[in-house]
């Protein structure tokens, strides 16, 4: 049976070859390498550890209705996303900024400020779907492959330590959870694509993804700074991404029965706005 190191070296060669010839299978090679380096069970453990750290730094809203709503919407979108071995958890934070993020292991956080800024449930579903698919497509782990290279990581593996131990140490030594939250532009586009597909599959009006990103772009004065840079941190709503989503939704058959909003969301939004209004004014 081939050793883990030999498998990774083979993947390293394949990744280099695909890059040199413009091969479309680079994504698949990255996924395979990530699965060897950090198996799904190890990713879940790592994510749980980071979730504890995050929740010490980012206060949660701790509103049962808001969390139940987020979990309900998230679970629906997960059903229509690419298969994933992680169990997803969705929570609403008490952060008033317009942001949302996910970490490996299926932990997704939606800021109360994002909820307050949205007009309807489908707009927030667009963001949640995007975050889910950073996890399903293992962008954090694949980023390690790109950043450090399969060869470098494979050289650090030992049969006694196992595959995951050196990689986990590498993550912790190079910034911890922030290391696996650095996404490239192609990662963002891939998360967009699968997020919009999940919206459509779950019965949401996926065109709301366009309206929300256009709203954010307008709020920033048409650029990629300000409000847009706050949304999803490194996820600027550039016009080419908006145009790509518009082209994607143009291929869908709409029946007029797509979901846009719910009374549950409007109650969640009411609570979100009330919470933000209660915060001390700077």
DSSP string, the chain: ---HHHHHHHHHHHHHHHHHHT-TTHHHHHHHHHHHHS-HHHHHHHHHHHHHHHHHHS-B---HHHHHHHHHHHHHHHHTSPP-SSPPEEEEES--SS-EEEETTTEEEEEHHHHHH-SSHHHHHHHHHHHHHHHHTTHHHHHHHHHH-HHHHHHT-BTTTBSHHHHHHHHHHTTGGGGGG---HHHHHHHHHHHHHHHHHTTB-THHHHHHHHHHHHHTTTSSSTHHHHTTTT----HHHHHHHHHHHTTSPP-S--B---HHHHHHHHHHHHHHHHSPP-
Percent of the chain scoring above 70 in pLDDT:
69
Q: Is the pLDDT of residue 147 over 80?
A: no
- Distance, CA of 147 to CA of 143 (rounded, Å): 6
Q: Is the pLDDT of residue 185 over 60?
A: yes
Average pLDDT over residues 217-230: 50
Q: Could you read off the pLDDT of 100-135 as tens digits, one per residue?
A: 999 989 999 999 999 999 999 999 999 999 999 999
Split into its structural domains, the chain has a count of 1
18 torsion bin: left (phi>0), alpha (psi -120 to 50), beta (else): alpha
Q: How confident is the model at residue 234 (pLDDT cuts 50, 70, 90)?
A: very low
Average pLDDT over residues 42-47: 87
Question: Tokens at residue 158, please?
Answer: 């030992």
31 vs 192, residue with greater confidence: 192
Q: Could you read off the pLDDT of 51-74 as tens digits, one per residue?
A: 998 999 899 999 999 999 999 999
pLDDT at 168: 62
Instruction: Provide the domain limits for residue 82.
Output: 4-278
- What is the bridge-based pairing of β-strands 100-103 and 107-111? antiparallel
On average, the pLDDT of the chain sits at: 80
- Distance, CA of 194 to CA of 200 (rounded, Å): 10
Q: Could you read off the pLDDT of 7-44 as tens digits, one per residue?
A: 344 444 444 444 434 444 556 677 777 777 778 888 89
pLDDT at 216: 72
Average pLDDT over residues 249-267: 97
pLDDT at 66: 98
pLDDT at 143: 75
Out of 51-55, 149-153, 248-252, the most confident range is 248-252
User: What is residue 148's three-state secondary structure?
Assistant: helix
- Distance, CA of 12 to CA of 18 (rounded, Å): 10
């Amino acid at each position: 049976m081939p050793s883990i190191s030999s498998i990774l070296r083979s993947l390293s060669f394949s990744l280099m070859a695909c890059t040199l010839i413009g091969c479309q299978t680079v994504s698949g090679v990255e996924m395979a390498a990530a699965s060897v380096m950090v198996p799904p069970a190890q990713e879940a453990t790592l994510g749980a550890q980071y979730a504890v750290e995050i929740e010490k730094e980012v206060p949660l809203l701790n509103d049962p209705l808001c969390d139940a709503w987020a979990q309900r919407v998230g679970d629906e979108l997960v059903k229509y996303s690419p298969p994933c071995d992680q169990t997803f958890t969705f929570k609403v934070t008490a952060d008033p900024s317009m942001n949302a993020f996910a970490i490996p292991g299926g932990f997704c956080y939606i800021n109360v400020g994002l909820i307050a800024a949205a007009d309807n449930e489908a707009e927030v579903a667009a963001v949640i779907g995007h975050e889910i698919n950073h996890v399903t497509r293992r962008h954090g782990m694949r980023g390690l492959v790109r950043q450090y290279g399969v060869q470098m990581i494979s050289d650090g593996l030992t049969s006694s330590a196992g595959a995951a131990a050196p990689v986990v140490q590498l993550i912790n030594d190079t910034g911890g959870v922030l290391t696996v939250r650095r996404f490239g532009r192609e990662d963002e586009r891939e998360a967009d694509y699968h997020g919009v597909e999940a919206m459509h599959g779950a019965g949401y009006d996926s065109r709301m993804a366009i309206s929300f990103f256009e709203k954010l772009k307008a709020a920033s004065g048409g650029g990629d700074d300000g409000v847009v840079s706050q949304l999803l941190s490194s996820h600027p709503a550039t016009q080419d991404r908006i145009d790509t989503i518009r082209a994607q939704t143009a291929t869908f058959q709409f029946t007029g029965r797509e979901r846009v909003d719910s009374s549950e969301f409007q109650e969640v939004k009411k609570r979100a706005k009330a919470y933000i209004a209660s915060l001390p004014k700077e």
